[in-house]
Structures are given as C-alpha cells and as structure tokens.
Structure 1
Amino acid sequence: MQYQNKGLDVQTQIDLYERMQKSRMIEEKMLILLRQGKISKWFSGIGQEAIAVGVASAMQPDEYILPMHRNLGVFTTRDIPLHRLFAQWQGKASGFTKGRDRSFHFGTQAYKIVGMISHLGPQLGVADGIALAHRLKKENKVTAVFSGEGGTSEGDFHEALNIASVWNLPVLFCIENNGYGLSTPTNEQYNCKKLRDKGIGYGMESHTIDGNNILEVYNMVDSLCKRIRKNPQPILLEFETFRMRGHEEASGTKYVPQALMDHWAAKDPLENYTEYLRNQNILSEEEEVTIKKVIIHEIEENLKKAFAEEAIDSTETNELNDVFKSFDYKEVNPKGELKNIRLVDAISEGLKQSMEKHDNLVIMGQDIAEYGGVFKITKGFLEAFGKERVRNTPICESGIVGTAMGLSINGMKAIMEMQFADFASSGFNPIVNYLAKSHYRWGEKADVVIRMPCGGGVGAGPFHSQTNEAWFTKTPGLKVAYPAFPYDAKGLLATAINDPNPVLFFEHKGLYRSVYQDVPSDYYTLPFGKASILKNGEEITIVSYGAGVHWALEVLESNPEIEADLIDLRTLAPLDIETVYDSVKKTGKLLILQEDSLFGGIASDISALVMENCFEYLDGPIKRVASLETPIPFAKRLEDNYLPKKRFTKELQDLLAY
C-alpha cells in the first residue's frame, strides 16, 4: 500500500493511527462480549476503519455526519464518551435511545451525528435537508452521509443524489463498496464498472478512493471539504474496501472465497499504516505499546461504568410521553375583520401568514413556485418569499420527505406539499419509519408538515382521489389533521406548523372551492385534539370529518325532525374521543361516517373504543358508514355508488328506528 502524507504534520498522522487503533480495539472487545451474551448484536467494521476515521477527522466538529452500522470510527473520532456507547449497545438508560433501539440506530445533536435506520435509504435525503439548511443560513458547512454499495440500488439513493445535484448541496455521499450486501456480491448488485459512475450520471463530481489507505482517505476528504465549503456542490466518493466479517456476526463469511479474504487481509488498513509509521520513524514500538495501554484502560473503565448501570426500567407513562416532543400550545385568538372565503383561500392565507411569522420555514413541493401548485394555493408565494423558501422539487416524494426531516434536524421548519395525498405511498417509508419514530428513538423532533390534498367526488379516479388517513393514524408518532371548514383549516394549519412534531394535514379537494365561511383575516391558532359539535340533539350521535361532515349536515338540514349531535372530529390524531363518549352517554346511539373504505378505518377504532367504554349507555348497535371495499373509480355513476353519501341516509334512519 502506497502512502503519501502530502505534508501532513506528525501529530495528525499519529492521531489518525490512534483513532483507527481505538476503533479496532473496541470492536475486538465487543466481539468477546457478544460471545459472552453481554451485547445482543454486532455489525463489524474491522478492515474498514480508515474510511470512518478519515472522513470524520477531515470534517469540522460542528458538521453533521450520517454514519452506518460499520462506522464506529465516526463516533469515537467525535469523542463520544465510551460508557455511553457501551450503554447504548446494552440497551441502558445512559445510552442514546433509552433502550428503544440498538446498535448505531441513534443520533446525537451534541456530537452532530445522525444515525441510520434499518431502511437505509432515507438518511441520504436527510443529509440533503441538513445541507440545504446550512445553505439557507449562509453557513459554510459540509454534510457527509454514508451508504454501502447495496444501498446504491435503493430508490432513495437516486432521489437524494438528484436533489443534491439540482440544488448544489454541499453533501459528501460516502459509499463503502465493501464487496457484499450481506451475501450478495457486487456483480449481482450493480452492472456499472465503478459506483462513481452513478454520481456522474447525475452531473456530480465523483471519485474512487482506496478505502483502506487512511492518508488517501483523509487527504482527499479534507481537500474536498475545504473546496465545497466555499463553493457548494455534492460529491460522490466510492471507497473501495472489504468486509472482513459477516454482515453481522451471526451470518458469518462462508460465502466468501478464501483467496478473496486473503487478498484483503493483506490490505488491512491498521496493520499497513502502522508499518508505514514505523518505517517513517513516526511511531516507535514503545509509543505503540503506550497508546494501546491507554486505550485498553479507557475501554475497561468505561465498560465497568456501563456494566454497573442498572438495567433500564420504564413505565407506560414514560413510554407514551416520549412518542411526541412536548409542545406548549399557544392560543392565538382570532382578530381582524371576517372575510367570506373558500377552504382553498383559508389554507393559502394560513400558509402565507405562517411564512411571515417563521422566517426559518421552507415550503417544498412539485410545481409550487412559479406555477403556484396544481391547486394554486401557493400562487404569489415565490414573489413574496423567494425561491430559497418556496422550492419546486423534482418528482421524488421519498427524497423530499427526507429533505424535510434534514431541515428540521438542522433547525428549520419544513412544509412539504404532496401534490395529491395518493402520492404519499411513494414517500411512505420515511414518513412512518423516520419522521414518526425519531423522537421516541433518540429525542429528535420532526418539525415537518405534509400537506395532503385528498378525497373523491371530483372524478379523478383511483390515483388522485384516495382519502388515506388510516395509513397514518395507525402509526404512533404522527399527528393527523383533517378539517372540514375554512375557519378550522386556517387555525389548525397554523398550529400544525408551530408544532415540532410531524403532522399529516389532509385537505379535501372537493371542498377546496365549494365550501365558504366567514374567516378572520388575521393569524390565529386552534388546538389539536378538540372536536367541534356542529348540532345538538338527544336522539343520536353522528361522528364524521372532512367531506362526511357536509354530507351529514345536508341530510340533517333536509330532515329537521332528526335530533342529532353532529361531531366534526377536526383532528384524528390526537383524537377527541371524550367528546364522543359524552355525546353517546346522552343519546345512546352512534353512527360514524367516513369517506374512506370501511375496513381498518378510523370509524372502526371509534366504534371499538365506544364499545369498550360506553357499552352500558348504548341503546342500539354502533353503525359505521363508509365507502365500498374497492379502489375509488373514475366514472361518475361508479364513484357515486362507491361513496357512502347515499347509504348514509338509510343507515341513519334504520338506527333511529332500532
């Protein structure tokens, strides 16, 4: 292995050695503890230390790094206290996830590290968002994100590279090409000659580096970081290396030819670099022994501290309280003159006033800038707030959800417009696995609102008409709002943007331009988790949200003899179930109307909750009225038959007569 120090001072060369040695010695100790059953799992980076150590050493301490399983050297180079790492791997309280996640599945703002999740791809988009925040704040910083060669096959990889290239984001995409994705060799993973070719395809500067040569890694990354801090651009770095142990220890390496193992064993980054330092008279045998003794002592002392810590304990209250970041809701009462406006106008006005209130708020979405969005909600926003804060995006929902999360991690607020709620399926993974779980796992907020134009009745067919709120109400960590009126929409949207937790904000397209209401012109907020009682009666309770509220109002106004409580839920998570309970205790009968298809929807859960908590008050069966168990069709007669509007009247009358 050829080493070129390129003028590096002696201390830096020694530091690189110590950092690799420390990483290696911790790993060797962890493998012993794994066999002893004292940790549950280990993803070994032995033989790859030069990459993690070299990249982390070349970056500034306040620059974000997003590492992977095998990047222990990132954590140790950032000087995270070892007892906290050891406690993390043992699932103890002084780790970083309170025992809720394992291995390197955590982040820490204190050390500017954002750990990966098992669905590897989303962190690449998160790196884009972090880098975008740096650019918006005029900070000359680099963000580095790691992936393996297997991860380059994921759609998120391509979306993230495309976003970074289009927006000139200072991201180092560090690909550890280590030979195998679990047992799948690279020739079955991709067919390009070099992984750097994938970056070139996105108009991105790309390099292939000997990932086992610590000086080549450090010098290259250091040089690139200095350049792109001044002139932001993304760069793809392919680090050629090899995984000397299994994907994780249980999987072994029997699938690897011995000749290949021998070849890479001879290229061991630590052994070769140690020999180089000796030959250069930089490291003596005595100094080497001293360094190892210091590391051994540090490991043993910190292990004692971690082992001495009691096993983690918790309560139901503690667990539930950590699903969301605490939010101190501030009531802002409506002021100003009332204007009779449509739902679409109320949302646009609410967005604009929040953009004025929060100068760190960024809106992203397809066609939202010059075009004003397909529903023209952001028309005029580009002129008012500029292209930096009102950003057209490529067509890549998953990557933009990740970018929104990265903005949040780096101190910004983000709104993403799904052009249609249906398209959230293309961003489902980062919504339910990254945004929803981050605070529970490592205490990190997801200050993101995803706007979801939804709903049928407009002849848009199966892919532009779904009301898919039940995909998300099932996921702890997400808040879901679904207003039916302009007044509620404007106030709830302001609250959603103020809330540091992820919010799915559903906006029914069929109501955009058909529903008018007197709405205060000034900024105001409304609380989540508080339903609205639109009508009062003694005979029956009707619960709905979105377009269903208007269908119910229409029927009740046509049948004034029906004495009904009509409850508009307004938000589905949190759900104001207490208002439903109180009403059912008064009326004794409950009908729940939803536009979503019947099985697995919000109506089913409300029905179950009322049965469990108000059974003795019921004077009849709970009725659920919903759309057919089919995809939503296009033709008007088919769509009318699909939607529950006509069936609602019969079910209501049947329950009243029960």
Structure 2
Amino acid sequence: MSNPTMKSINYDRASLSDETLIQLYYNMLRPRLIEEKMLILLRQGKISKWFSGIGQEAISVGLTMALDKEEYILPMHRNLGVFTTREIPLFRLFCQWQGKASGFTNGRDRSFHFGTQEYHIVGMISHLGPQLGVADGIALANLLKKNNKVTAVFTGEGGTSEGDFHEALNVASVWQLPVLFCIENNGYGLSTPTAEQYNCEHLADRGIGYGMESHIIDGNNITEVYTKVSELVEDIRQNPRPVLLEFKTFRMRGHEEASGTKYVPQELMDHWAAKDPLENYQEYLKTLGVLTEEKVQEFNDKIKAEINTALDQAYAEEKITPNLSTELNDVYKTFVYQEVNKNTKTKELRLIDAISEGLKQSMERHDDLVIMGQDIAEYGGVFKITDGFVEQFGKGRVRNTPICESAIVEAGMGLSIAGMKAIVEMQFADFVSSGFNPIVNYLAKSHYRWNQQADVVVRMPCGAGVAAGPFHSQTNEAWFTKTPGLKVVYPAFPADAKGLLITAINDPNPVLFFEHKALYRSIRQEVPSDYYTLPLGKASLLRKGNNITIITYGAGVHWALDVLENNADISADLIDLRSLQPMDKEAIINSVKKTNKAIILQEDSMFGGIASDLSAMLMEECFEYLDAPVKRVASLETPIPFDSQLEQQYLAKDRFLESLLELISY
C-alpha cells in the first residue's frame, strides 16, 4: 500500500497513546476493506447501488471515536465508518444492503437510509436537509435533560445550499444547542464542482453569519480530526453551543458508482490520491514504530475473514416474504387508546378555549412535552391559545421559534427520537407548505422505514370565512390525508377539540390537528373541565334521519346544522367525521345503507379533496343500496379571495341547500 509520493499530511500524535493510534488505523481500515468488497459485489450484480466514501474515512472514524456511544450521530451515505466504528454487526449491515429482514428496514429502504436506537445513529433520507433540523431536536432534548451530551450531524457541501441547512444553523445558534454541524466538503455535488455551488472561500465562514463558532479541519488527517473534535466535544458538553466544522476532503469515486468521475480533472484526482487518509496514516505509524507490516497483514486478514463470514450469513438468509397485513400494520406505531372519561363538571368554552385547556392539561400530564412555534411564548400566539403558558411551564418547554417551519418540524422529530413529545404550531395552516417536506417524507415514513415513532402533533389554524385572503384561509387537509403514516384530525366543536387533541398528543404517531379559525370564537359548548380523551377514527352522528346521509367536517358541520335547523322537514343523518385519518368508514357505510342517498360537504375545493375519495368509496361499497348518485359539494376551484363577497361566493356554504334538495328529490 505504500506510495513514495506521500507525506502529504502532517500528523501530530500529541498525547495520543499507541493504543489509540492503532485503534484509529484499524477503524479506518475496516470500512475501506468493506467498501472494496462492495465494489466487487456491485460489479457482480449482488448489490444494487453503492455510494463510496473511499478517501473520507478519517472524518467518520475520527468523529465517531471522539463521541460517547450514547451520543447521537446523524450520518450521510459516505459515512460507513460511523456505522462500523459504532460496532454494528457486519451481518446486519450486509442484510440491510441486500434488503433482508435482519437489516434495519425490513427491505423497505436501502443503503444508509435507516436509524438504530441501539447504536444511537439516525440515518439520512434522500432529501438531505431534514436531518440537520432533526439534530437540533435531539440536541434540544439533551439541553432540556441537562445530560451534557453532544449531537453530531453530517452534510455534504452540496447540502449546505438547501434551506434546511440555514434554518437548522439559525435555530441551533439562537437556542445555543449542543450540536456539531459537520460539512464534508469533498469537491463535488454529483458532478457540480464547488465553484458552482457556493461563492465563498470556505463554508466554515458561514458560521460568522449565524454567530456560530466554526473551524476548518483537514478531513484526511485522522489525528487532526480526532484530537480537534475530542477537544470541542469535551468543551461543548460543559458549555453548550453549536459548532460548524468544515472537513476538507475529496470524493475519489463517483457520486454513486454508475456516475463515474470523468468530469474530474486528472490532476485533481492525482493530488488527492496522494493524500489518501489510510495509506498516509499507515506509513506514518510505521515511521513511529507503532505499526509493522506484519500487523497490517494480520489486520487485513482478520477483517477480510469477518467480511466473508458476515456475507455468507447474509446470503444464507431467506429473502423477505411479503406479508400484506404486516406491511399495512407497520405504517403506524401501535397505539393502545386509553379512555379517560369525561367528568360531570363542565363549563362553557369557546373552541379556542377548549384547545388551550387541552394543551395546558397535556403539558401538566407530560413533563417531556415541548411546544414550539412563532410568537407562542410571552405573546401567547397570534390567537392567544398559549397565553400564560410561559409563566406556568417556562421558556424551555414553550419555545418561540424563528420563522422556519421546516427546521421546527424537524426539531420535533428530533425530540421524538430522543424520547420526548413535541407540538409544533403553524401560525396559519397555509404556512405548512414551508415545512411540507419533513412532514410527508420524515415524520410520515419513519416508523414504516425503521420503527422510529414520530411523536409530533402539528397544530393547523385553518379555514376561510374571516376575510384573510389566499395565504391565511386554506383548509389544506387533503395534502396530508394522501400520505400514509400521518393522522389527520379536524374537530368542529369545543368538547371534541379538547378530547381529540389530548388523544393526539398521547398518540406516538404524527398527527395534523386542524383548528378552524372562524370557529375559534364563534362556537361555544359545555366542555368537561378535567383531562379526558376521545378516540381517533370515530365519527359523531349529530342528527338522525331516514332520507339522506350528510357527511362533513369542520365548518361544514355548522353549515349543515344551519340548513337542517331551517328545514325541519329534511330527515337526514348528519355525520361529523371529526377524524379524517383514520376515518370511521363503518359509520358512513352503515348510514348510507340505511338512507340510500349521500351528500358530502367540504370547505376545500372539489378536485382531489376528501369528498372525492369518500364518493368513490361509497360507489364501491354501497352501489346496490344507492337510489341516486353520490353528491359532492365543495368550494370553487380558485384560490381563496380576500373580499368578503368574493369569499362568500367562493365557499360551498350557500350552494349546499340547493344541492341537498336536488338530491333528495332525485
């Protein structure tokens, strides 16, 4: 392995013992030999894809050895050294890459797209940015627990262009979170060189803009990586703060093997080949007399034998046999609903007050529950739902956030990974589009992918009728009912809102909790004063009748009630869905089989909404019972206008009675 052109790296053993020097070498050699074997298997068609980290081992190994095993690391797909240094059995890694059951995702994801609580590793998703905010959440949990732990998260220089990077750094700096942001600057984002990715000399300089300490480290120098990170970690544990690290290195192979490296100038490849972190370090240890050629051969033989044995085990394991019920049941973490009965003492509350009371009683019940959102602390939120919460629970658990929906949703996920609960308030449901990616790609999929719950409730003040215009009036529940792994709740009454919110907080799955702004202060009801729960997925039958079934939710419930109050001759079942995912299909189908007609009312525009799916379901399940086509009534296919008269025309409310009478007389 020796190369006469080496001596490109200046090592300094400082006070490192011989044992530590050897361990650093062994831990770099192991992923290198695994990768060399994987490249052979790739050419043989025995694995489907490979993202090579050859030449970058010093970063993964040095950082992992500097951290305690209980401290979380969030790696990327070139950080095999993180997984091997944390001593994950190779058999399990090989099974993961082959889609076998003994891997970490039951064949549902590949490569390093997985996490493991046992080894305190949280793997990436292909949308690279979200893991940075997730690291913030884990670090926030550490800060609140005062456990003196550090979290480390990796990204490439390409990933630093994503908005998640900037949001995560800003949040970490504002909250002084104990997290290491590690940039592996390896020269290319797929084929795009750094000169076309950012316009500054060093990415570490970005730390200045966030008021954050930053350092540049030679990512090919294992002693520099290990000693500098060790010093920083020791200090951060006692003086919590975020630190930005830029590791200068190079990607010696393609983004993934199929893409190759033809776009890289040969002189650049030669320059970095001379800086190979393993070969240079091996020669350095030989000059110190710490390592011999015999020891090198012994290590190689031992690791190669370990690789071959683990591969044989992985090959021998049977392929996964698809099981339909297993697949469907693993989308959500099992939640055993525990009923807490309503007390007889009640008081009249508005919808907004009932939600506030449910939040407060949940905060009292769960010491590990954190609420995050814009202006929710001293100001009490724009709707004053969390007014007074800071005084009772403190700023640690009631946290004002910068305007960065993605990072805060991701932080909620991080809190869940660290064993806590999170509530994220979208100031308006419309703004969730800025946090859409982590909700539908991270929260929704984590349990299915690697059995990690996302114990996060996203509160969604929504709806029209208050002349707030296109960006503060949407009822966008259909964005999320389409996504397996999310639960969606949409109450219409104060008592339902309180009980359902408490249950949503108890549920370890991600829940989108919609709160209609126009109902906040207009709807009053007697609400039990104590803590109580209501089950998700159970509709409420508000009126009983024989001639037609009205199915609706949210503000639509009150529109339908008004119509029935003013038309006493209409005999109708009125179903308030309350929960859209899960949905009470049994209640809907039983009612339609009885009345033989169905009309579905929603505030959202028609195409692609809840009503469309319900209509299709009824046509499939109740066709022989229907005396008329299923009718849908929805708002116009336009954005929501500001002017009150235009808004009234937009909404389905004034068209409902005509459609209802038309269907009854069909």
Q: Which SS does the other structure have where 1:534 is aligned?
A: strand
Residue number in structure 2 paired with 1:91:
99
- Aligned residue number for residue 403 of structure 1: 411
Aligned to 1:79: 87
Task: Work out whether 1:392 is the aligned partner of 2:400.
Answer: yes
Question: C-alpha offsets along residues 117-171 of structure 1, whole Å, 9 cap, x if unaligned?
Answer: 0000000000000000011111100000000000000000000000000000010
Q: Distance in 2 between matches of 1:263 and 1:286?
A: 29
Quick one: distance in 2 between partners of 1:244 and 1:277? 23
Matches of 1:308 and 1:16, distance apart in 2: 32
Code of the aligned partner of 1:329: Y
Give the whole-Å Cα distance in 2 for the aligned partners of 1:391 and 1:316.
42
Select 2:123's aligned residue among 115, 119, 132.
Answer: 115
Partner of 2:245: 237
Partner in structure 1 of residue 613 of structure 2: 605
Number of residue-to-residue matches in the alignment:
658
Matches of residues 200-219 of structure 1 in structure 2 within 5 Å?
200-219=208-227
User: Are 1:135 and 2:135 matched, yes or no?
Assistant: no
Instruction: Please give the residue correspondences for 1:9-48 in structure 2 after superposition, counting only pairs within 5 Å.
Output: 9-48=17-56
Partner residue, 2:163 = 155
User: Hey, what's the Cα distance between the residues in 2 that align with 1:108 and 1:214?
Assistant: 26
Query: What does the per-residue CA deviation read over 1:583-632, in whole Å, with 9 as the maximum and x for residues that have no partner?
Result: 00000000000000000000000000110111000000100000000000
- Summarize deviations over 1:399-437 as a string: whole Å, max 9, x none: 000000000000100000000000000000000000000
Match of 1:498 in 2: 506
Q: 2:99, 2:270 → 1: CA distance?
A: 36
Q: Are 1:88 and 1:96, in contact at CA under 8 Å, matched by a contact in 2?
A: yes
Matched, 1:614 2:622: yes
Matching residue's letter, 2:195: N
2:579 corresponds to: 571
CA deviation vs aligned residue, 1:318-338 (integer Å, no higher than 9, x gap): 001100000011000001411
Question: What per-residue deviation string (whole Å, max 9, x for no partner) do you get for residues 37-91 of structure 1?
Answer: 1110000000000000011010000000000000000000000000000000000
Q: Deviations over 1:289-335 (max 9, x none)?
A: 11111101110110010000001112110001100000011000001
Q: Which of 411, 428, 432 is residue 436 of structure 2 equivalent to?
A: 428
Secondary structure of the residue that 1:317 maps to in structure 2? helix
1:49 matches 2:61: no
Residue 536 (1) aligns with residue 554 (2): no
> One-letter code of the match for 1:64?
Y
2:189 maps to 181
Shift, 1:6, TM fit: 1.1
Q: Structure 2: which 5+ runs fail to align?
A: 1-8
Q: Are the equivalent residues in 2 in contact too, given 1:508–1:546 (CA < 8 A)?
A: yes
Q: Choose from 222, 233, 247 the match for 2:230.
A: 222
Q: 2:342 aligns with which of 334, 345, 354?
A: 334
2:321 and 2:275 map into 1 onto residues whose CA distance is 45
Give, as a single letter, the amino acid of the residue that structure 1 aligns with 2:29: Q
1-side partners of 2:105 and 2:165: how far apart? 26
- The whole-number CA distance in structure 2 between the counterparts of 1:234 and 1:39 is 38
Q: Report the equivalent of 2:589.
A: 581
Residues 345-392 of structure 1: CA deviation (Å, up to 9, x unaligned)? 000000000000000000000000000000000000000100000000
Which residue in 1 is equivalent to 2:281?
Answer: 273
SS at match of 2:602: strand
- Corresponding position of 1:353: 361
Q: How far did 1:548 drift?
A: 0.1
The answer for the alignment partner of 2:76 in structure 1 is 68
1:301 aligns with 2:306: no
1:472 alignment partner AA: F
Residue 4 of structure 2: aligned partner? none
Q: 2:463 aligns with which of 455, 464, 489?
A: 455
Q: Does 1:282 align with 2:294?
A: no
Name the SS of the counterpart of 1:283 in structure 2: coil
Three-state SS of the structure 2 residue aligned to 1:110 is coil
Q: 1:252 aligns with which of 250, 260, 265?
A: 260
Task: Provide the rounded CA distance (Å) in 2 between the counterparts of 1:638 and 1:625.
Answer: 18
Distance in 2 between the 1:490 and 1:345 partners? Answer: 9
Deviates more, 1:441-450 or 1:336-345: 336-345
Cα separation, 2, equivalents of 1:336 and 1:220: 62
Q: Does 1:595 align with 2:609?
A: no
- CA–CA distance in structure 2, aligned partners of residues 256 and 200 of structure 1: 31
Distance 2:550 2:616 in 1: 15
User: What letter corresponds to residue 102 of structure 1 in structure 2?
Assistant: R
Query: Is the CA contact 1:405–1:447 (under 8 Å) kept in the aligned structure 2?
Result: yes
Partner Cα separation in structure 2 for residue 138 and residue 260 of structure 1: 46
**How big is each residue's C-alpha offset from its partner over 1:231-284, in whole Å with a ceiling of 9 and x where there is no partner?**
000000000000000000000000000000000000000000000000000001
- Report the counterpart of residue 647 of structure 2 in structure 1: 639
Distance of 1:293 and 1:36 partners within structure 2: 23
- Cα separation, 1, equivalents of 2:344 and 2:374: 33
Q: Distance in 2 between matches of 1:270 and 1:66?
A: 23
- The alignment partner of 1:378 has SS state of coil
What CA distance in whole angstroms lies between the structure 2 residues aligned with 1:620 and 1:198?
64
CA contact (8 A) 1:336 1:522 kept: no
**Shift in Å at residue 105 of structure 1?**
0.1
**Aligned AA (1:165):** S
**Within 2, Cα distance between the matches of 1:217 and 1:354?**
44
| 1:496-520 per-position Cα deviation (integer Å, ceiling 9, x unaligned) | 0000000000000000000000000
Letter in 1 for 2:24: L
Identity of aligned residues (%): 74
Which residue is 2:10 aligned to? 2
| Aligned-partner Cα distance in 1 for 2:65–2:279 | 19
Taking the aligned partners of 2:323 and 2:540, their CA distance within structure 1 comes to 33
CA contact (8 A) 1:65 1:112 kept: yes
Normalising by structure 1, what TM-score? 1.00
Check whether the contact 1:325–1:439 (CA below 8 A) recurs between aligned residues: yes
SS across alignment from 2:118: helix
Structure 1 residue 648 and structure 2 residue 664: aligned? no
Match of 1:381 among 384, 389, 410: 389
Q: 1:362 maps to what in 2? A: 370
Aligned amino acid, residue 145 of structure 1: V
Amino acid at match of 2:174: V
Structure 1's consecutive aligned runs of 4 or more residues displaced over 4 angstroms after TM superposition are none
SS at match of 2:622: helix
Deviation at 1:199, TM superposition (A): 1.4
User: 1: CA distance between counterparts of 2:291 and 2:208?
Assistant: 40
TM-score by length of 2: 0.99
1:191 is aligned to 199
Distance 1:308 1:221 in 2: 40
